[in-house]
Structure 1
Amino acid sequence: MAEQSLSNHTEVDVVRTLDDLLIPFHAAMKPSDEFRIGAEAEKFGVDATTGTPLPYEGARSVLTVLEALIERHGWQVESESTGGPTIALRRNGASITLEPGAQLELSGAAFDNVHQICLEMSGHLAELRDISDELSLTWLGIGFHPFARQEDLPWVPKSRYAIMRRYLPTRGKYGLDMMRRTATVQANYDYSSEEGAMRALRVSLRLSPLVTAMFANSPFYEGEIWGGKSRRALTWLDVDPARQGLVQNVLTKGERFRDYVEWALDAPMFLIKRDGVTVENTGQSFRSFWKHGFRGYRATLGDWQTHLNTLFPEVRLKRTIEVRGADSLPANLTCALPALWTGIFYDARAMDEADALSESFTFEELEALRPEIAQKALGATFRGEPLAALAERVLVIAEGGLARRARMRNGKDERVHLAKLGSLVEKGHCPADALLEGLGTGDADLRREILARARI
């Protein structure tokens, strides 16, 4: 009886044709004068002295922090079900959510410019500061947890995470590390046409490995220097290959929404939801579910939206274009990621230049480059040229786009948010190099130094 009631949906919701699967993308298109930017930043909560991970619940926990944010700053609680555990907060178009290992993520509101994003990010950190000081906690802006082993971390009680916990280890060595020990900064962008969206997707997929190198910021593993620059990037190399990576068919020749949809259709599912109840389904691709159903359920547009949100390519197409390749960052670099992509995506000349620069990059070349980037970041080479030189060219393109946008605050345009990144790239460095400067593997105070340097 339960399954029968769960499968009841109005006929208008049911997916019948491939054109139905294109609806979310066409519906998201908007005029360019309505384009906005959204940024997301994750961080690890730890004991300020020992670096011990923050648990989900308890006297000094993520829940304690969330409750203080609700009480002091007007955030509203969000649960998966009535009376269920707190897994997110909402306020004025922004949200605070929890990743599987209790990483805290601010998903910001949609803004016109990067200055506004920075103000929101700094305001968020200010709200956390007093709470954290009272609890002797600190927050680390780094791409991979510098201290925690898997067994040291909590599990956030979200239904999707329980399914991923069971399934992902069957599809790659680092699935659980991706879920619980990595953190990122991401940005989201609007599009006005199918042609424009797919062009932006192609260009950003080609440039994504380079951007990963520019923002590499995870040189530690379980309290030691591991020898590379981005443990997060290394982790992503061995996670379910059907749902992540550079999306070969789109990177090489993707010109229509359908090209991304065809890739997404063949990716395995995690779940469907009916009337607030989660139904696990990890045995099917969405294509099979659409064609054949599952235990009497028929595929709906809601199921399709859920599925799109469980895919993790380096650049993701949803109602926005989501760039996903960067490690989590210190506060003085967090806004550089949205600034870089804003300069490229939201200026026609910059997009032309970025397209021309990357047009000849092949999937095979970029895929071969990814392991080297995890190890060397901007010290890697591409076509015999130092990757840092290519990064400088991309920065010039982005800076030009930001200058022409001319969004001003205190007499400065959005290029101000690229200044710190530019100074690193000029030296061939990434944020991990700044974390490592002067450190040795035998440093007796290594843990203390990591805490001081990675603190947001």
Structure 2
Amino acid sequence: MARDTTDSRPIEGMDELVDYLAAGNKPREQWRIGTEHEKFPFYVDGHAPVPYGGDRGIRALLEGMQGMLGWDPIIDEGNIIGLVEPTGQGAISLEPGGQFELSGAPVETVHQTCREGNAHLAQVREIAEPLGIRFLGLGGSPKWTLAETPRMPKSRYDIMTNYMPKVGTKGLDMMYRSCTIQVNLDFSSEADMRRKMQVSLKLQPLSTALFASSPFTDGRPNGFQSWRGDIWRDTDNRRSGVLPFCFSPEFGFADYVEWALDVPMYFAIREGRYHDLTHVTFRQFMDGALRNELPDGLPNMGDWANHLSTLFPDVRLKRFLEMRGADGGPWRRICALPAFWVGLLYDDEALDAAEALTRHWTYEDVVAMRNAVPEQGLSTLLDNHSLRDVAREVLAISRRGLANRARLNKDGYDETSFLSPLDEVVARGTTSAEDMVNAFHMRWGGSIEPIFQEYAY
């Protein structure tokens, strides 16, 4: 996320909360692709994590990027914590452990989002290399303990850090030691949102398997292909996971609002100050529970927008849909993730086929896959078929959708080539995580250090 929202318009009732989501409806010609990716900064000399302060820290990196790009700084209690393009077309932000995130501009094609990602990596390298910093493209921090991991000076993260151990065993690992690639996609109507939400929720475990790249913790194999996927099994299950009500044939914006109202809040911002509100739900806030605790006592539309950004289901609904199941990874994966989902969801023939393929999958089936994938990856079984077999079918559907879109680059190529990294995973039958573990035991001689060369940006 780029920055938290301030919008002081009062909330009169539930209809406004539903209308806020429905305002995301867009005609097809206005659909866009917004890609986000996170990466771990590290020092080339010694492979230590990069702290916020100091002449060679995260702050210096952000200030260098600001000078290069001319973007506006995002300031939190005097600290620069991100940058935003002046017209809102993209942002750079920090995750709690210093993970460096690009939230890309909404663009029309995967070609554009891939060029944007490559340009960002070139820009950040230009600033980072004189500081002795490079970046690691993985789904989980492979070496540093939680105690060794830096903490960024961001007010919302202080609130989350205190709250996470109360609601799960792995929330701090999620915050400080995981990275993702994510794509945000549009819908045209409530019915279109429903179809895309249901298909993408069902296929999110497959995305986790295809992108699995977090097999190490504290310098050793951790027994998972996607440690990040395991982390999400016990982070804060009131606000994360697979949402059963989304599987209903009548699911709509109001159902998501009803769920969101009963999830505990993180914070509200008043006069630039973050107030810890983890002891109340948004519904209680609306019912006046904070009349004596906040200056104005009642929620506004900015509070609602911020609350929606603190919900973490596998597919998140805001004024667009966020695909949240994938580990972070090498640069080719930054292009593959949006290509995978755009192919499935932005073409009618492909969406029909994906819907038909997954129609009989139940909520229980999806939860079982989600629970098995972190350890088993593409070997996970569904109806006696491996996810590797399912992946072949789904990639064929996605490729058809991208071909149907026929969005060509200047050389006349369509977007299907961006699926190649995923085709390779399925053809090999092994995930990146399995390849890394094999390298650890063989080529790397039981050392984690080579990962900082082979998987660095």
* TM bucket, shorter chain: over 0.9
SS state of the match for residue 152, structure 1?
coil
Partner amino acid for 1:133? E
Aligned to 1:6: none
Contact 1:252–1:362, Cα closer than 8 Å, also in 2: no
- Could you state the TM-score of these two structures normalised by the residue count of structure 1? 0.94
SS state of the match for residue 439, structure 2?
coil
Q: Does 1:54 align with 2:60?
A: no
Q: Structure 1 stretch 129-138 or stretch 329-338: which is displaced more?
A: 129-138
Aligned to 2:312: 312
Contact 2:440–2:448, Cα closer than 8 Å, also in 1: no
* Ranges in structure 2 where 5+ consecutive residues have no aligned partner: 1-6
Output one character per residue of 1:363-389: Cα deviation in whole Å (capped at 9) or x when no partner: 112212223200121122112111100
Contact 1:216–1:229, Cα closer than 8 Å, also in 2: yes
Partner amino acid for 1:406? A
1:124-273 → structure 2 map (5 Å cutoff): 124-253=120-249, 255-273=251-269
Q: Distance in 2 between matches of 1:210 and 1:289?
A: 37
Contact 1:49–1:448, Cα closer than 8 Å, also in 2: no
Partner amino acid for 1:382? L
Output one character per residue of 1:93-143: Cα deviation in whole Å (capped at 9) or x when no partner: 110000011100000001000000010100011112222221222100100
Contact 1:293–1:299, Cα closer than 8 Å, also in 2: no
Aligned to 1:353: 353
Q: Structure 1 stretch 438-447 or stretch 47-56: which is displaced more?
A: 438-447
- Could you state the TM-score of these two structures normalised by the residue count of structure 2? 0.94
Partner amino acid for 1:113? T
Q: Distance in 1 between matches of 2:423 and 2:250?
A: 31
Output one character per residue of 1:154-212: Cα deviation in whole Å (capped at 9) or x when no partner: 21111111100111110000011100000000000111111111211111111111111
Aligned to 1:3: none
Aligned to 1:4: none
Identity of aligned residues (%): 39
Aligned to 2:426: 425
Contact 2:92–2:100, Cα closer than 8 Å, also in 1: yes
Which among 69, 79, 85 is matched to residue 85 of structure 1? 79
Output one character per residue of 1:249-296: Cα deviation in whole Å (capped at 9) or x when no partner: 113445211111121111111111223222211111112222233134
Partner amino acid for 1:135? L
Task: State the aligned residue count.
Answer: 444
Deviation at 1:216, TM superposition (A): 0.7
Partner amino acid for 1:213? A
Aligned to 1:384: 384
- In structure 2, do the counterparts of structure 1 residues 104 and 112 end up closer, same or farther at CA, with 3 Å as the change threshold? same
Contact 2:245–2:251, Cα closer than 8 Å, also in 1: no
Q: Structure 1 stretch 275-284 or stretch 438-447: which is displaced more?
A: 438-447
Which among 67, 73, 81 is matched to residue 69 of structure 2? 73
Aligned to 1:14: 10
Q: Distance in 2 between matches of 1:329 and 1:185?
A: 7
Q: Distance in 1 between matches of 2:225 and 2:10?
A: 46
Which among 84, 108, 112 is matched to residue 116 of structure 1? 112
Q: Distance in 1 between matches of 2:249 and 2:52?
A: 44
Q: Distance in 2 between matches of 1:242 and 1:194?
A: 24
- In structure 2, do the counterparts of structure 1 residues 424 and 442 end up closer, same or farther at CA, with 3 Å as the change threshold? closer
Q: Distance in 2 between matches of 1:256 and 1:68?
A: 44
Which among 19, 22, 25 is matched to residue 21 of structure 2? 25
Q: Distance in 2 between matches of 1:431 and 1:293?
A: 48
- In structure 2, do the counterparts of structure 1 residues 253 and 50 end up closer, same or farther at CA, with 3 Å as the change threshold? farther
Q: Distance in 2 between matches of 1:454 and 1:401?
A: 30
Q: Does 1:37 align with 2:37?
A: no
Aligned to 2:3: none
Q: Please give the root-mean-square deviation of Cα atoms over the aligned residues, in Å.
A: 1.7
* Ranges in structure 1 where 5+ consecutive residues have no aligned partner: 1-8
Q: Distance in 1 between matches of 2:327 and 2:250?
A: 26
- In structure 2, do the counterparts of structure 1 residues 266 and 440 end up closer, same or farther at CA, with 3 Å as the change threshold? same
Output one character per residue of 1:279-330: Cα deviation in whole Å (capped at 9) or x when no partner: 2111111122222331341122221111101101110000111111100010
